[in-house]
Amino acid sequence: MSTPIVSLENVSVTFGATRALVDESLHIYPGEIIGLLGHNGAGKSTLVNVATGAVAPDRGVMTVDGHNMPLRGRPKALEAAGIKVIHQEPSLATNLRVGENICLATPLERRPKRERKRVAADALASVGAGSISLKAPVGDLSFGQRQLVDIARAHATDLRVIFLDEPTAALGKKETTALHGLLVELAQSGKGVVYVSHRLKDVLELCTRIVILREGRIVMDQENVGITAAALTAALSPSSATPGATHRAGELGAIDDAAKLMVNTPHQTLGFEPGKVTGLFGMAGDRQFDLLESLYGLSRGVDATLGDARFAPSGPRAAVRAGVHYVSADRERDSLIDGMSARDNLLLPWLKQFSRFGVISNRRVRRTYDASRDELSIRGARDIDNISSFSGGNRQKVVIARWMLVSRPRLLLLAQPTQGVDVSARQEIATAVRAAASAGVTVVVASAESDEIDLLCDSAYVCRSEEWRPVPRGVRDFQEQLLAALLA
């Protein structure tokens, strides 16, 4: 076998008490496309960050073309060595034009203007984005277009290995096909490609080798020959083979049919019952998240009934008035206000309930926060401290407590509520979600993570093409059935 382009040997990374990587090794060879899989918190991002210089490990050795590279968090040095990364959020200057971004901070900046334009145009065309004007301000582009520009920027200069983190999450079928074609061409030209994705079908079809991380350790590293969805499921979550290993239903309290939700789609009607947690499972960036947003009034066009009345909220205010509460997948962008305390963040939408004649009762505020803190085990800094001083898991608990505990909803919409939190926080959130359902709330969870659906849900609908395929909880291997329905 040829010499690896990049080798990571015995790499360990610790964040506080969390061991993100445990003495792991990865070798990236010319001409291969590695599918890097693992649930949230498995160590994928940490491994990519070490390989690209964004994180300095506690110990380990890295070589590029057999030569030692310092593992001290030096991304510029590794980029100069041809190690590039495409993040989920495009790393572009939104105040500059497309052509300027493609050449920004690269050797292209020193070349004649005509050559820069030619290289930039060729790079865009190579990723199926030739219709994007080089003169277009990046800030005016859609998310998918910005991601293509970022990929084109990496392709415009010499590279040895490219890491891509969920590169197709916001892309259409045509753009995805063009990107995959480009990755195959890069591999055929001797480059190494590492493809991080939740889209298992894409990984099975595209990648020549599959590496799976679980709890900071590599549990699968083999050529993609004869690997099935069932094998991937077993490696990702071995507990899925044991019925009820992660899911525990609570005792059901009083049920109010006013919380029953029915959603009409072009092909079928989806039903969501009070007292149950129903999952919407699909690929990253798929329609399960769009459905939640439409039910919260962030987009129009939903055809639904809540209780016995038609439900089509004109916006989030109307949804909240109807008892519909929503936790988005991006807590930092959509939910939390940096600079405010944890207590104020938790109670922000409900402050009118704690005021009389315009004066807020601090005693009631503290009592409500303390009750929410105890219910969801919110730990860390004081309630009056800035929300940024709390860990990611505790910040997520603050958001969930805001919409689940302060004012009880009829319908609770959760978009990947346990993403980016540790194992104990996942279990505490799951327990609180089960308690809400047991109290008669209708809970809908949208996710691209099969283990999250398994942890939280009584049953699920799987988003597949134009259909929603029901998957009941009663089957023995729930996660495998979810993935099978997705890949069918």
Task: Determine the topology of domain 257-487 in CATH.
Answer: Rossmann fold (3.40.50)
Average pLDDT over residues 248-275: 79
246 confidence band (pLDDT: 50, 70, 90): very low
Mean pLDDT for all residues in the chain: 86
Contact 123, 157 (CB under 8 A): no
* CATH homologous superfamily of 6-240: P-loop containing nucleotide triphosphate hydrolases (3.40.50.300)
pTM tops 0.75, yes or no: no
In whole angstroms, give the CA distance from residue 439 to residue 79: 53
Judge whether residue 238 has pLDDT over 50: yes
Domain borders along the chain are 6-240, 257-487
CA–CA separation, 293 and 316 (whole Å): 9
pLDDT at res. 270: 95
What single DSSP character describes residue 240?
G
pLDDT of residue 385: 86
Identify the DSSP state of 386: B
Burial of 125 (0-12, 13-18, 19+ CB in 10 A): middle
> Which of 139-148, 170-179, 215-224, 421-430 has the weakest average pLDDT?
170-179
Sign of the CA dihedral 423, 425, 426, 431?
positive
Residue 171: pLDDT band (50, 70, 90) is low
Q: Is 257-487 the same fold as 6-240? A: yes
Task: Decide the pairing of beta strands 161-165 and 192-196.
Answer: parallel
Higher-confidence residue of 40 and 451: namely 451
Read off the pLDDT of residues 418-434 as tens digits, 9 standing for 90 and up: 876 766 788 889 999 99
**In percent, how much of the chain has pLDDT > 70?**
91
